[in-house]
Amino acid sequence: MADLQDEPNAGNPAYTLDTAPAGPGSVGAEDQPAVVPAGSLERAAALLSVHPVADGHNTLVWTLRQSPYHDIDTTDLGVDTDIPRLRAGGVGAQFWSLMMPSEAAAADQVVSDTLEQIDAARAFVGRYPDSLCLALTADDMADARNRGRIASFLGPVPGRTLIDSLGALHAFHVLGVRILAPAGAPWAQEGLTAFGHEVVKETNRLAMLLDLTGCPPVVACRIASASKAPVIVSHTAAAALNGHPGNVTDEVLLALRAAGGLAMVTFDSAQTGDSLHAVADHLEHLRAVAGPHSVGLGASFGTEHGTPRPAGLTDPSGYPRLVAELLDRGWPESELSLLTWGNAQRVLRDAEFTARAAHHRRPG
């Protein structure tokens, strides 16, 4: 059945561009790049109808907790993410971040805050059953796409919640979380402590992904090497093009390539530059260093109006323009299908395979 589920419904209206809203970041908006050939946009729309975007990072859960009066079932210009613009951009899967902009110093408070984030995320997904669908596995991701819904994964949660015990990790997994972020955790500071190795082993057993965003390069490389399952960097760009501290070095990209991992490019103008062309440059660098099987998209949408974004990519409806730009640069459609959907689904499947193998090895 998994093979059948992986075949999308190419005629699914959920991923057509005809309903793109006439707002910031939509096709035809004022910040649209000067030259986007119509033929390229049509090809991009056709590709996204079959291989929608699996976006690795969106902070809307936190934003809605602070400003709960937004209705994302209709175009809401107060935030940059709503269901019409996700549809218009061809988004078929979304990883909803459960991180908080500023975390409390006390570990128990971080756990409490994270549980509130999880509760808010589950309620949020449940509020829009015709459009969003909680996803736990790669099969769920494919099934949601085939039913015209946006597969919604929960995570990452902060690794700081784990202090000498894996209990919180197990609880998060039961609640549906599928990604853990080690950055800032005491067990992943200059390398991996003994407990850190236990965390990596247990995330592998649970088929939870490790998100290395924010980890120092030496730590990121060590975690990528220690993990038997692929790791991801959910929102980043190329440090070789922009020295922003959130961007990954070529060393980390090579480690991701060796581990079958995934670096997902953000649409944060501080990290990429202020244009769609600059974002495309970062994608090209990541593809050249990490390889086409280790590049994805993690825009970091989910904020209120006014957050600086590259021109042409101010909200999720801009995805077709980015794909059109890459088509014009000569990216083959086979590699674009990996960028938008295939690499994210493969990483999830590989994590699940690793988990099954770990269960088989575990003594009864």
**pLDDT tens digit string along 213-263?**
999 999 999 999 999 999 999 999 999 999 999 999 999 999 999 999 999
Question: CA dist 124 to 91, 130, 266, Å?
Answer: 17, 12, 23
125: amino acid identity, one letter: V
H or E element, residue 265: strand 262-265
Strand order of the β-sheet with 53-58 is: 132-134, 150-154, 91-96, 53-58, 295-297, 262-265, 232-236
What does the pLDDT read at residue 36? 57
Q: Name the more confident of 336 and 25.
A: 336
The DSSP secondary-structure symbol of 32 reads S
* pLDDT above 70: percentage of residues in the chain: 87
For the chain, what is the mean pLDDT? 89
| pTM for the predicted model, two decimal places | 0.88
Token pair for residue 283?
């994608």
Q: Across-strand partners of 134?
A: 152
**In terms of Cα–Cα distance, which of 254, 355, 271, 260 is closest to 310?**
271
Token pair for residue 184?
């800032």
**In terms of Cα–Cα distance, which of 114, 158, 153, 119 is closest to 137?**
153
Dihedral of CA atoms 62, 65, 71, 77 in degrees, nearest 10, equals: -60
pLDDT band at 37 (very low <50, low <70, confident <90, very high): low
Residue 316 has pLDDT above 80, yes or no: yes
* Neighbour tally for 24: CB within 10 Å: 17
d(CA 32, CA 28): 6
d(CA 208, CA 200): 9
